Structure 1
Amino acid sequence: MNYYLKSTDDVLKEIRSQSTGLTSKESEERLLKNGKNKLKEAEKESLIARFFSQMKDPMTIILLCAATVSGITAAYAHESFADVLIILAVVIINAILGVTQESKAEKAIEALQEMAAATSKVLRDGVIQSIKSEDLVVGDVILLEAGDAIPADARLLESASLKVEEAALTGESVPVNKKIDKLTLGTEKDIPLGDRKNMVYMGSVVVYGRGTAVVTAIGMDTEMGKIADALANAKEGRTPLQIKLAQLSKILTVLVVGICIFIFGFSLLTAETINGEVALNTFMVAVSLAVAAIPEGLATVVTIVLSIGVTNMSKKNAVIRKLTAVETLGCAQIICSDKTGTLTQNKMTVVEHFGEKEDLLATAMALCSDAQLDETNNAVGEPTECALVNYATKLSLNKNKLKEQQPRVVEAPFDSVRKMMSTVHKTADGIVQYTKGAPDEVLKCCTHALYQGKVVPLTDAIRKEILSKNKEMADKALRVLAAAYRNYESVPTDINPESLEKELVFVGLTGMIDPIRPEVVGAITECKKAGIRPIMITGDHRDTAVAIATQLGIIKEAKEAITGAELNEISDEAFKNEIESYSVYARVQPEHKVRIVNAWRAKGKITAMTGDGVNDAPSIKSADIGIGMGITGTDVTKNVADMVLADDNFATIV
């Protein structure tokens, strides 16, 4: 149901709940009727069943036939059973290796289950209770605050500066500012997951603020449940090596049977006399020649060579979880890569600024934030605020020292309506207020600006220059924030935002982005020279995706990018024909990623897929070679991947 398109009153009415939550009786009835808030358990095969399923491989069947025939021959001729034992040892070792490499899907589902919160705070009978998250039902009102893992999909009822980290589900690197107003559809038929700002989803985490929400979906009905279902249903295709070995096995089988029949028939036809003993001897000769034609050592040689490849790869930060992945990677023609953390550094960084007094700009940005420096001088907190604190640190403005010199005495916290935050500090020269926020909103509160070394009235010409610089940064897909200040003779008594945020002096702008990994540009060039096509897939907005992809050399024009919403409008057949026109996919959802991978595979291309979030898992499993991230990757993606990058770096794949 599209609860994000409805008002809170309509949502509560539809799911038969209220803002004070359910009663204990109502929740018990719903729990009995709809079951637990859990993801479906993965079906588990016994160890013996897994072992024998390894025997279905055509090459293994031939080897077992060879062992049987060799055993009969050895028994008949009273010879050694060494060949039989060697062949059986090869088969058993290969089967054991296969079993140890399997059960990834099970582990992936288990890891998904672990991502759900263990306990939740809910309103039951009008009072706050802490319950097991698996006992949540649709209609429960949950309480959320910074640090909480969200236990189910829910529609927000209240939001006090609530920010939620949804990267695992959407791939977007910046936490989402949440609101409670109902959303409206524009030209698109639906609103992408990352833009549903009045919803929260299982598996995401609150990083700032607080709120309440009414549960709208539990268990397998959640967005996380849909991913678990897609993961369970995703078919794992055979690798190029497995296909070639299967083809070789069929050819060998036909040849071997043909040799047996021909030699046996020819020998009988040319024999002077035919009796039981002659027939048996002739048959044993034919069988011996057939056994000789079977390359018993092939499976062992393949395993050893691939194992050497695995060892070599591990020295280059690539951990191979499936032997055949070594050979598949060498055949790759398409590499579909997640943006955040693989092509970029997954660390918001200030890369541009506008303003004459950079020290003042950095001080204002660092002090007007809640991010802190830890013992190692690394910023901890919300990614955007961490970027501002790190920006100040680079200018030798340590936030811990700034706090000592200018302690905070009053604050007006950020809220998504005002789109700004203000803090008041005591300094050696008196009282100063710093305000940071969206440039348009901050400028509305300014009457003066720091311009040409002095404070001057904010004229239309200066305002136009500031807005022009803001647009210039925004066009580069930078996240732009403005800073301003105000002096007081004493600590203000009226601390309402309306009183504080006026008559401000504009200081400057900062532009930040998740910067690209410098080594990736060369890796992309190398890919193209080798005939491998890099494709970028991200949950970020189109402008950001296009800017990053252009910088990396993945695309030259914006028309080579397409959004998930636009992809929904294209049929599978049309997409298969048009797929070569696109190298960037923005604002995508998990099902889009699977569709992209499958479309390339349908064109006969060996496709690799990289990712770190839960939303990447189904496509990683569907690809010819799935590549997970070792540092930022969730356990879910690591468990379905054929290969894990120890350094999360696209260049390592190349």
Structure 2
Amino acid sequence: MKDQNMEQKSTRKVWQDKAYQMEIPELLRAVESPVETGLSSVDVAKRQAEYGSNALEVEKHSSLLEKFIEQFKDFMIIILLAAAAVSLFASHEWHDAVIILLVVVLNAIMGVIQEAKAEEAIDALKEMASPDARVRRNGNVETIKSHELVPGDIVLLEAGDIVPADMRLLEANSLKVEEAALTGESVPVDKDIAPITLEDAGIGDRKNMVYSGTNVTYGRAVAVVTAIGMDTEVGHIANMLAHAEKTKTPLQRDQDRLGKSLTIMILAIAAVTFVVGLLRGRAITDMLLVSISLAVAAIPEGLPAISTIILSLGTRSMAERKALVRTLPAVETLGGTQVICSDKTGTLTLNQMTIEKVYFDGKLQDRSVEIPAENPLLRSLVLANDTKLDAEGKLIGDPTETAMVQFALDQHFPLQENESKYPRVQELPFDSSRK
């Protein structure tokens, strides 16, 4: 992985790192992509061969056998396996051995099932989250899958779009982009096309750039792709996560400590019992069997099963709240969290707004007031608005504008009928100078 990342870094051009500082004509000359026609099919093929696919590298899923073996890398499980072996071969207590092995195997199976289900759900979400992109190629506007984008592609953006790659803006009409995933700023950011003179400007200061995975909430834009895949800002985050040091959860650490403490105490008690028996004249073989039986009986073979069942119940509870948990021990980590640090309250909101009061019929009224569909108030709320309805009927756009459309829909306003009856012929977007 490290060598591959270094190889990707070496293919980057100067204009990719300094795109936000360059004048637009200078950038277009460097990227060798005409705005009017976009890249040709030949150019696209060459750049796909050079830069690869616009997709994040993902760690290859382990096989079911590897997942199963991974479940046994726990100190308590190792102790139980040792106890089963001793029961079977030393004391010939096969009943105890079978019970211990059954508990351990069931524990591993439950862990494998949970991890496999979580991986399937995550893969399905990734497939659903793969956005389309409208690009200019060969002089035409085409809709393609985002993974087909290459540096230099001319992309058209509008409200409701997910930005498919890191891009420098060439044209921007009242563009606002929600960048909370990268900057933590819950309020949509105003964008423009002016070059940034600040050296090494942070992501939040690059007003002429839009980044992969962010959402266009307002306005329209034309942009040129500067980075794809692992070279994007989201790709850098994915790379850091892939190389992050794996640590055990608090529960796993506690279980390891408990297992080690129990092992020491059990061995000590068994040793004392063995020595006392010998001092009292008992046979060595008899005392050996007694000590082993005592040690096996003292090991809590039900502990892993109980903890696994409790964690499984927690996983199910999280799933009901639409939260995916990949491994069972991760459920406990959130429960053990004592402090959540956040830069501001906006980061923890749903980024949704609702109209609560309406000035109608000469007075301020509650949102439950009934307004006739033909009233100009509802028509102005809906028609002077860039909010879109997606295929699933979800409103996409600026939170304030979506609140207006939602209010009109709650009033049973015929949205699509009015949009067809009153098509938009001109646009005068709000700005600070026009107010």
Quickly name the TM-score band, shorter chain normalised: 0.7 to 0.9
Q: Give, in whole Å, the separation in 2 of the partners of 1:319 and 1:116.
A: 20
2:264 aligned to 254, 271, 283, which one? 254
Map 1:518-533 to 2 at 5 A.
Answer: none
Q: Give, in whole Å, the separation in 2 of the partners of 1:373 and 1:114.
A: 19
Q: Match of 2:29?
A: 13
CA contact (8 A) 1:42 1:109 kept: no
1:192 pairs with 2:203: yes
1:214 aligned to 208, 224, 227, which one? 224
Q: Give, in whole Å, the separation in 2 of the partners of 1:307 and 1:318.
A: 15
Report Cα offsets for 1:136-184 as digits up to 9, x if no partner: 2222222334554433211122234444454554554454443222234
Q: Give, in whole Å, the separation in 2 of the partners of 1:2 and 1:223.
A: 14
Pair 117,300 (structure 1): closer, same or farther in 2 beyond 3 Å: closer
CA contact (8 A) 1:164 1:205 kept: yes
Q: Give, in whole Å, the separation in 1 of the partners of 2:125 and 2:321.
A: 23
Q: What SS does structure 1 have at the residue aligned with 2:59?
A: coil
Q: What SS does structure 2 have at the residue aligned with 1:180?
A: coil
Q: Give, in whole Å, the separation in 2 of the partners of 1:183 and 1:34.
A: 26
Deviation, 1:351, is 6.6
Q: Match of 2:352?
A: 347
CA contact (8 A) 2:159 2:386 kept: no
Deviation, 1:41, is 2.9
Write the letter of the residue equivalent to 2:49. Answer: L
Structure 2: gaps spanning 5 or more residues = 1-16, 365-374
Q: Give, in whole Å, the separation in 2 of the partners of 1:319 and 1:85.
A: 36
Deviation, 1:62, is 0.7
1:26 pairs with 2:26: no
Q: What SS does structure 1 have at the residue aligned with 2:221?
A: strand
Q: Give, in whole Å, the separation in 2 of the partners of 1:372 and 1:399.
A: 15
Q: Match of 2:434?
A: 441
Q: Give, in whole Å, the separation in 2 of the partners of 1:7 and 1:252.
A: 69
CA contact (8 A) 1:123 1:142 kept: no
Q: Match of 2:241?
A: 231
1:385 pairs with 2:408: no
Pick 1 or 2: higher relative contact order, CA cutoff 8 A, min separation 6: 2
Residues matched between the structures, number: 400
Q: Match of 1:63?
A: 80
Pair 116,10 (structure 1): closer, same or farther in 2 beyond 3 Å: farther
Write the letter of the residue equivalent to 1:332. Answer: T
Q: Give, in whole Å, the separation in 2 of the partners of 1:148 and 1:309.
A: 35
> Percent identity between the aligned chains?
42
Q: Give, in whole Å, the separation in 1 of the partners of 2:396 and 2:142.
A: 30
1:42 pairs with 2:59: yes
Q: Give, in whole Å, the separation in 1 of the partners of 2:361 and 2:292.
A: 90
Deviation, 1:326, is 5.9
Map 1:69-468 to 2 at 5 A.
Answer: 69-75=86-92, 81-102=94-115, 108=122, 111-112=125-126, 114-118=128-132, 120-124=134-138, 126-185=139-198, 190-193=201-204, 195-268=205-278, 271=281, 278-306=283-311, 313=317, 321=325, 323-324=328-329, 327-336=332-341, 343-349=348-354, 366=381, 369-370=384-385, 381-389=397-405, 400=414, 412-415=426-429, 420=430, 438=432, 441-442=434-435
Q: What SS does structure 2 have at the residue aligned with 1:335?
A: coil
CA contact (8 A) 1:181 1:198 kept: yes
Pair 42,66 (structure 1): closer, same or farther in 2 beyond 3 Å: same
TM-score, structure 2 length as denominator?
0.74
Report Cα offsets for 1:273-318 as digits up to 9, x if no partner: xxxxx4433322221122122122222333345556667x579958
Pair 388,308 (structure 1): closer, same or farther in 2 beyond 3 Å: closer
CA-based RMSD of the aligned residues comes to 4.2
TM-score, structure 1 length as denominator?
0.52
Write the letter of the residue equivalent to 1:219. Answer: G
Pair 199,114 (structure 1): closer, same or farther in 2 beyond 3 Å: farther
Q: What SS does structure 2 have at the residue aligned with 1:215?
A: strand
Write the letter of the residue equivalent to 1:298. Answer: L
Compare the two structures and name the one with the higher strand fraction.
1
Q: Match of 2:370?
A: none
Deviation, 1:246, is 0.7
Q: Give, in whole Å, the separation in 2 of the partners of 1:316 and 1:39.
A: 29
Deviation, 1:61, is 0.6
